[in-house]
């Protein structure tokens, strides 16, 4: 059990999930949180990461740092996605172990599971089939991180946990027109279309795939919850149970913003995995449940979008 004064290293504190974790740690009264910018520490360079760990004396590490993006980014920057993610996570996980840090959270994604897997996705389904081609590089990197954590747990009795959330959204998201995930992309496109009085927006793919979404603050809550738990399992799904089609999410967001917009679907862009909904039995067994509903989460996300003056 972490004490409020114990030193914690949070990697990736400026991203969607990392910033939510940082806010939650502060709210919960943790007083010794270390963060570091990319300019001051390149997590891809092992020597620098090992020196950083040796200099500090952390009790826990939370790894939210990663190269992430939507389907376009995954398809066009495959080499970066596998190299950068493997380098970052290997250096952090191994650095933690070398410095006798027993508690660690490694964050991944539901894309680690096979494309045609049975649903809902159980942790046992990992490596049971072929991955979705468009995010293969990212998924393989994350799978390697899971196996690395599991190996240290088995061989050295560490308490490293890998949390796999479904599609997350919330304050601090990336709204880039090509690199963002679908939910953030819809928010930007629909807000801009309403401002410009456009009657139609283009959505990549058929709009038919089913996706489960979760608010970033709920993922942060899960991180704090499980870093203070001793679990038998290394891999734990973090889902909301809330699932809609891509087309339905576009309609929900348009209705929220009272935007009368038609959707045109670009079938030249791959749909990706047809369905991804997580089995959350293990997380629920330990007593963790999501708390934020979609309307609340969307409202908070919109406020952040406006505050940051996204252009």
Distances in Å between the alpha carbon of 290 and those of 106, 191, 208, 223, 283? 19, 27, 25, 12, 10
User: How many helices and strands, by DSSP H and E, does the chain display?
Assistant: 10, 12
User: Which one is catalytic: 22, 30, 138, 175?
Assistant: 138
Cα–Cα distance between 121 and 204 in angstroms, integer? 24
Q: From start to end of 122-166, where are the E strands?
A: 159-165
The distance of Cα 232 from the centroid of its chain, to the nearest Å, equals 22
Find the helix or strand (DSSP H, E) in which 10 lies.
strand 8-11
Pair of tokens at residue 158? 């560490």
Whether 242 is a known active-site residue: answer no
Contact yes or no for 10/33 (Cβ under 8 A) = yes
User: For residue 134, how many other CB atoms are within 10 A of its CB?
Assistant: 22
What residues are labeled active site? 138
């Amino acid at each position: 059990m972490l004490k409020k004064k114990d030193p914690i290293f949070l990697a990736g504190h400026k991203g969607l999930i990392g910033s939510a974790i940082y806010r939650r740690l502060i709210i919960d009264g943790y007083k010794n949180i270390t963060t570091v910018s990319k300019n001051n520490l390149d997590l891809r360079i092992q020597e620098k990461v090992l020196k950083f760990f040796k200099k500090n004396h952390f009790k826990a590490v939370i790894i939210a740092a990663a190269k992430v993006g939507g389907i376009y980014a995954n398809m066009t920057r495959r080499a970066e996605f596998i190299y950068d993610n493997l380098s970052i996570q290997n250096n952090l996980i191994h650095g933690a172990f070398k410095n006798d840090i027993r508690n660690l959270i490694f964050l991944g994604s539901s894309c680690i599971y096979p494309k045609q897997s049975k649903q809902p996705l159980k942790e046992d389904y990992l490596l049971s089939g072929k991955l979705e081609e468009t995010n293969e590089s990212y998924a393989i990197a994350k799978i390697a991180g899971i196996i690395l954590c599991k190996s240290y747990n088995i061989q050295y009795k560490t308490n490293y946990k890998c949390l796999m959330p479904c599609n997350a959204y919330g304050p601090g998201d990336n709204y880039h027109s090509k690199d963002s995930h679908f939910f953030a992309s819809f928010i930007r496109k629909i807000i801009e279309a309403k401002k410009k009085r456009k009657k139609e927006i283009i959505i990549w793919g058929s709009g038919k795939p089913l996706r489960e979404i979760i608010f970033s603050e709920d993922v942060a809550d899960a991180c704090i919850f499980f870093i203070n738990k001793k679990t038998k399992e290394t891999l734990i799904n973090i889902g909301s149970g809330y699932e809609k089609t891509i087309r339905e999410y576009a309609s929900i967001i348009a209705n929220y913003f009272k935007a009368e917009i038609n959707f045109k679907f670009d079938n030249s862009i791959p749909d990706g995995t047809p369905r991804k909904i997580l089995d959350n039995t293990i997380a629920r067994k330990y007593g963790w449940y999501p708390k934020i509903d979609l309307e609340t989460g969307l409202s908070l996300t919109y406020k952040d979008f406006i505050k940051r003056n996204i252009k």
